[in-house]
Amino acid sequence: QDLPFGTRGGADAKHYFPVDGEYVVTVRLVRLGTAAIAGLNDEHQIDFRVDGERVDLTTIGRKGMVTANGGTGAGSGATDPDIAGARADFQYRLPLKAGSHALTATFL
């Protein structure tokens, strides 16, 4: 993968966009079981870039989130409002020129 140095994983994709226009790109976070988001018991920054240029930098999660069963994390019994309502998908509307573009979503 062509992820930037200093990142802690993520995904990269090269895609050919056939015409100039606005495209919607969705970044979906890994879930535990059916719907809970993995890793929310710690704070993470998600860096989304197109052709190396930052489009968005978002912080998710925080230390000490507590679930209904007393554990920490994004378990299915989440009671912490930050877990229960956490954004799992990030959608970006991007005006792009026709041609090949590199898309990356990484954790800092």
Q: Where are the beta strands (DSSP E) in the chain?
A: 10-17, 21-28, 31-32, 36-37, 44-50, 53-60, 89-96, 99-107
Cβ–Cβ < 8 Å for 65, 86: no
pLDDT tens-digit map of 42-96: 788 889 999 999 999 988 777 655 544 444 444 444 445 455 445 567 888 999 9
- CATH number at 73 reads 2.60.120
- Domain hosting 93: range is 10-107
In a domain, 16, yes or no: yes
pTM: 0.70
Intra-chain end-to-end CA distance of the chain, in Å: 16
Does residue 4 lie in a domain region? no
**What distance in Å separates the CA atoms of residue 67 and residue 75, rounded to the nearest whole number?**
6
Task: Identify whether 86 is part of a domain.
Answer: yes
Q: How many domains does the chain fold into?
A: 1
Render pLDDT for 13-49 as a digit per residue (tens, 0 to 9). 999 999 999 999 988 877 766 666 766 777 888 899 9
Tell me whether residue 37 is in a domain. yes
